[in-house]
Amino acid sequence: MRRHRTRGPIGALLALTAAGGLLLTGCGGGDEDAARDAKDTAVDSRGRGSAPVPAPDGPRGEAGQRHDEGATTGGTGDSREVAPEPDLLSTFALDVDTASYGYARRTLAEGRLPDPSTVRPEEFVNSFRQDYERPEGDGFSVTVDGARTGEEDWSLVRVGLATRGAEQRGARPPAALTFVIDVSGSMAEPGRLDLAQEALGTMTDRLRDDDSVALVTFSDEAETVLPMTRLGDRRGRVHDAIDSLEPTQSTNLGAGVETGYDTAVEGRREGATNRVVLVSDALANTGETDADAILERIADERREHGITLFGVGVGSDYGDALMERLADKGDGHTTYVSDPEDAREVFCEQLPRHIELTARDAKAQVAFNPETVAEFRLVGYDNRRVADDDFRDDRVDGGEVGPGHTVTALYAVRTRPGADGRLATATVRWLDPDSRAPHEESGDVESGDLDDSVWEADRGLRVTATAAYFADALRTPYDDGSLPGAPRLGELAERADALADRTDDPDVGRLAAAVRQADELT
């Protein structure tokens, strides 16, 4: 694998000043909203793009390199000045959500296929930690690799991004966390409110004395059960509030979100990480049920106060689409829990990684070489596409990424016959969370770097391919998959079993079990 890294002159001089990531001791190991919905002009509705060989119309900048300071320091520089024509580009906002995969596993375990509309392939792919090289400082490393699928001229190309771990960043600032807990009648089902209470109680014991917690509940109405409380010697008060939660009536999600953000704003602490954590099945049926109205409140608070949202989904009946939109609008992330093991992972592993930010408005742009690539397709990221020209427009919303994250994007790429040379250059651009200074990092891949087979590539790429093929099969359960080289579910289950045995990875073992369950249902 060949890696190439670049950094602009300003980016090399400015050190990121983001505060350290939140590591919970003892838990173990206007223009913005319009721009969010912009679609990638380089792809059609399924993410396909073509790469015709351009006419010799004069010198063309090498993809991913910056030719002037303006392209490095931000503003509205045109990507086409430094990269091939737009139909050779793929641009998207980074996404580290995992709820779609967790909910699919829960649904399959109950003997049902998930609704294809709830299957987001990038969330399947990003549910598995990768061993990408970490950057020496703040920001991202960029790794690009790939392998051939066995289908003529088609390969899978993986773009991997990674941030430095929280343990490498030193002391973190205090946290001010507002938990918004759904206590509607549906939360009485085992694996919902009971899981939330257990996990919150464990987390309370592991937070630092200078951290703060508030607790808001909602059913038919919303109530602030516990105002923002500095833990110190008040942990017993927090435990009492958590233990007092009982399921009651309907789901007034709008009231919960509004009261939650009111409480977070009232208890907002300067110099602390301020975050709302929403735990719900997201089945709004009372009060404000219009998604856009609920979403607008979150967008307002994000713009004015910088308070971001972490959504934790629960329940066999789950409002996946609404929770995903809420977190997206709130510059946050979503995950899903179905059992105590999931709850411990979320509140002791994922939440620490999601709370503190190391990068704001992060976007990736992949420039394909017209001399070696005939066509390409980004797998997933359907609602995260960004117009190519907006890659360096820092007013356009991207994704938020915390310490220790890995982000993976997978492409199906058809190479030209006899292709030899650079296939693609991937560039990630992000803003420092504090100074808003822009930074970029790049990596590329050559045709000679491709492994001969996806199934003989390194462990990380094999896991990525298995997760992507699985999501593809669930989107089209009774038809052939749309990804090149896609095996039948039975064969995919065998490959996943073999991979789990070789790596002794319980996460891959759970993936293999889910694939087998899907195969039995189709």
Residue 247 in this model has a pLDDT that exceeds 80 = yes
Phi, psi dihedrals of residue 256, rounded to the nearest 5°: -65, -45
Domain boundary among 305, 339, 355: 355
Phi, psi dihedrals of residue 108, rounded to the nearest 5°: -65, -40
Most confident option among 186-190, 315-319, 504-508, 514-518: 514-518
Q: Which amino acid is at 173?
A: P
Residue 51 in this model has a pLDDT that exceeds 80 = no
Residue 353 in this model has a pLDDT that exceeds 70 = no
Residue 402 lies in a domain: yes
Query: pLDDT value at position 39?
Result: 34
Would strands 273-280 and 175-182 be described as parallel, antiparallel, or unpaired?
Answer: parallel
For residues 215 and 322, membership in a common domain is answered with: yes
Residue 329 lies in a domain: yes
Q: Does residue 244 or residue 52 have the better pLDDT?
A: 244
Domain boundary among 454, 476, 494: 454
User: 3-class DSSP state for residue 283?
Assistant: coil
Where does the pLDDT of residue 304 fall: very low under 50, low under 70, confident under 90, or very high at 90 and above? confident
pLDDT in tens, 439-451: 999 999 999 999 9
CA distance 412 to 375: 8
Query: pLDDT value at position 425?
Result: 98
Q: Does residue 147 or residue 476 have the better pLDDT?
A: 147
Query: pLDDT value at position 273?
Result: 84
For residues 368 and 265, membership in a common domain is answered with: no
Residue 3 lies in a domain: no
Of 42-46, 290-294, 312-316, 375-379, which range is least confident?
A: 42-46
For residues 474 and 412, membership in a common domain is answered with: no
Average pLDDT over residues 272-277: 89
Residue 485 lies in a domain: yes
Residue 21 in this model has a pLDDT that exceeds 60 = no
Of 103-112, 186-195, 453-462, which range is least confident?
A: 186-195
Residue 4 lies in a domain: no
For residues 378 and 430, membership in a common domain is answered with: yes
Query: pLDDT value at position 434?
Result: 81
Residue 280 lies in a domain: yes
For residues 189 and 209, membership in a common domain is answered with: yes
For residues 178 and 236, membership in a common domain is answered with: yes
Residue 277 in this model has a pLDDT that exceeds 90 = yes
Q: Does residue 308 or residue 70 have the better pLDDT?
A: 308
Query: pLDDT value at position 60?
Result: 29
Query: pLDDT value at position 112?
Result: 96
Residue 305 in this model has a pLDDT that exceeds 60 = yes
Query: pLDDT value at position 463?
Result: 97
Q: Does residue 286 or residue 245 have the better pLDDT?
A: 245
For residues 424 and 473, membership in a common domain is answered with: no
CB neighbour class for 337 (10 Å; exposed up to 12, middle 13-18, buried from 19): buried
For residues 279 and 136, membership in a common domain is answered with: no
Give the rounded percent of residues in the chain with a pLDDT score beyond 70: 80
Domain boundary among 454, 478, 496: 454
Query: pLDDT value at position 72?
Result: 35
Residue 412 in this model has a pLDDT that exceeds 60 = yes
Q: Within 51-191, where are the H helices?
A: 69-73, 99-109, 121-125
Where does the pLDDT of residue 480 fall: very low under 50, low under 70, confident under 90, or very high at 90 and above? low
Give the rounded percent of residues in the chain with a pLDDT score beyond 90: 52
For residues 318 and 394, membership in a common domain is answered with: no
- Sequential DSSP letters for 70-103: HHHH-SB--GGGTSS-GGGEEEEE-----HHHHH
Residue 495 in this model has a pLDDT that exceeds 90 = yes
CB neighbour class for 317 (10 Å; exposed up to 12, middle 13-18, buried from 19): exposed
Residue 376 lies in a domain: yes
Hey, how many other C-beta atoms are within 10 angstroms of the C-beta on 434?
Answer: 12
CB neighbour class for 101 (10 Å; exposed up to 12, middle 13-18, buried from 19): buried
Domain with 367 in it: 9-167+358-454
CATH number at residue 90: 2.60.40.10
pTM of the model: 0.80
For residues 32 and 138, membership in a common domain is answered with: yes
CATH number at residue 254: 3.40.50.410
Phi, psi dihedrals of residue 495, rounded to the nearest 5°: -65, -40
Residue 56 in this model has a pLDDT that exceeds 70 = no
pLDDT in tens, 69-123: 333 333 333 333 334 454 789 999 998 899 999 999 999 999 999 999 999 999 9
For residues 444 and 473, membership in a common domain is answered with: no
Query: pLDDT value at position 166?
Result: 65
Average pLDDT over residues 286-290: 71
Q: CB within 8 A of 362, min separation 6: which ones? A: 93, 94, 140, 398, 399, 400, 401, 428, 429, 430, 431
Mean pLDDT of the chain: 81
- 8 A C-beta contact, residue 324 and residue 97: yes
Residue 351 in this model has a pLDDT that exceeds 90 = no
Residue 385 lies in a domain: yes
For residues 313 and 199, membership in a common domain is answered with: yes
Q: Please name every residue paired with 226 in a beta bridge, in sequence order, or none if there are none.
A: 215
Average pLDDT over residues 253-261: 92
- 8 A C-beta contact, residue 311 and residue 333: yes
Query: pLDDT value at position 170?
Result: 59
Where does the pLDDT of residue 226 fall: very low under 50, low under 70, confident under 90, or very high at 90 and above? very high
Q: In the chain, how many domains are there?
A: 3
Q: CB within 8 A of 292, min separation 6: which ones? A: none
Token pair in block for residue 328:
């997206």
Residue 49 in this model has a pLDDT that exceeds 60 = no
